[in-house]
């Protein structure tokens, strides 16, 4: 072991002690940042990532088409569903389940959603005594509003004729007559 060759820089050490103590005393006389939850509650920003909802399109139909992209994107596998065919060829979720006891609120599902159906809300107060209560089914998730992007309806852009007749979207020509001879 090498012996000390330099004397201890005692002046520097005292300065450091005083600075640290100054910070401590400064915070003792400051107003606290914590609130008395649940008596007082903070208002999160609108883009806060908490409880997930399924939204509806402006025409009132379910936006979710059960494409399985959110469940594929989910890093903790907390989303599961099964798709089925509804009236007029509309694809919908026969059942849709999010296990909030497993969810890490990362927002990848909302990012993956091609129809803007799955959205994060600022409602962070999800706490239950029974863990099964945290398994949300479709009826618990589906809301009656559009959430963000209130104008968007996936079927008005996808050209397979579910909401509009085939060839009836603004960017489409009417269906061709295959047997016609006109060029």
Partner 1 sequence: MPKLIIDHIPVEVPAGTSVLEAAKSVGIWIPHFCYHPALGSVGACRLCAVKMVDGPVKGIQMSCMLPAQDGMVVSTTDPEALKMRSLVIEWLMTNHPHDCPVCDEGGECLLQDYTVAGGHGIRRYEGKKRTHENQDLGPYIEHEMNRCIQCYRCVRFYQDFAGGSDFGVMGSARRVYYGRFQEGKLESPFSGNLVDICPTGVFTDKTARFRARYWDYEMAPSVCPHCSLGCNTVPAARYRELLKTIARENPAVNGPFICDRGRFSNAAVNDPARPRMPLVDGKEASWDEALDALMLRITELEEVYGPGSLAVVGSPRLPLEGNILLARLAELLGAGYLCYFADREEGERVAAAVSLLAEGRAASMADVRKADCVVILEADLRDEGPMMLLAVRQAWRSGAPVFLVGKHAPLEQARAVSVEAIELNIIEEVPLAIFERAVVICGTRNSTPAAIALLARAEAKIAPLLPGPNAFGAGLLAREHGAVTLAEAAASGKVKGILAVEADIPEELLARVPFVVALDWLPTETVRRAQVVLPTAAWVEADGTYVSFEGRAQRFRKVMAPGLPIRGLPARYHASPDKSAPFHPPRVHRSVPPGGDLRPAWRVVAELVERFGGERVEELFEGRWEQLRDLDPEGGGVRLLG
Main-chain dihedrals φ then ψ at residue 97, nearest 5 degrees: -135, 130
Q: b/e for 125-149, b at 16 or more Cβ within 10 A? A: eeeeeeeeebbbebebbbeeebbee
**Contact positions toward partner 1, by CB under 8 A?**
65-69, 71-72, 80, 82-85, 91, 94-95, 97, 114-115, 132, 135, 137-138, 154, 157-162, 166-167, 169, 171-176, 178-180, 183
Query: Of 42 and 94, which has the nearer Cβ to partner 1?
Result: 94
Q: Tokens 């890093």 identify what position?
A: 75
- CA separation for the pair 139, 53 (Å, rounded): 10
Closest to partner 1 by CB, 23 or 132: 132
Closer residue to partner 1 (CB): 16 or 76: 76
Q: How far is the CB of 148 from partner 1 (least distance, A)?
A: 18
* CA atoms in the 13 A half-sphere facing the CB of 89: 10
Q: State the nearest-atom distance from the C-beta of 168 to partner 1, in Å.
A: 9
Minimum CB separation of residue 73 from partner 1 in Å reads 11
């Amino acid at each position: 072991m090498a012996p000390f060759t330099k004397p201890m820089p005692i002046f520097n050490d005292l300065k450091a002690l005083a600075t640290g103590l100054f910070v401590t005393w400064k915070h003792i006389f400051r107003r606290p940042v914590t609130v008395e939850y649940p008596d007082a509650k903070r208002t999160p920003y609108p883009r806060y990532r908490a409880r997930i909802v399924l939204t509806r399109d402006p025409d009132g139909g379910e936006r979710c088409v059960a494409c399985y992209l959110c469940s594929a994107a989910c890093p903790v596998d907390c989303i599961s569903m099964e798709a089925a065919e509804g009236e007029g060829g509309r694809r919908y979720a026969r059942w849709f389940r999010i296990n909030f006891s497993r969810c890490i609120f990362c927002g990848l599902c909302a990012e993956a959603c091609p129809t803007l159906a799955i959205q994060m809300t600022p409602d962070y107060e999800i706490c239950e005594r029974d863990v099964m209560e945290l398994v949300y089914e479709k009826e618990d998730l589906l809301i009656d509003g559009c959430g963000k992007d209130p104008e968007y309806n996936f079927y008005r852009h996808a050209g397979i004729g579910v909401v509009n007749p085939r060839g009836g979207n603004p960017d489409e020509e009417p269906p061709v007559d295959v047997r016609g001879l006109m060029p």
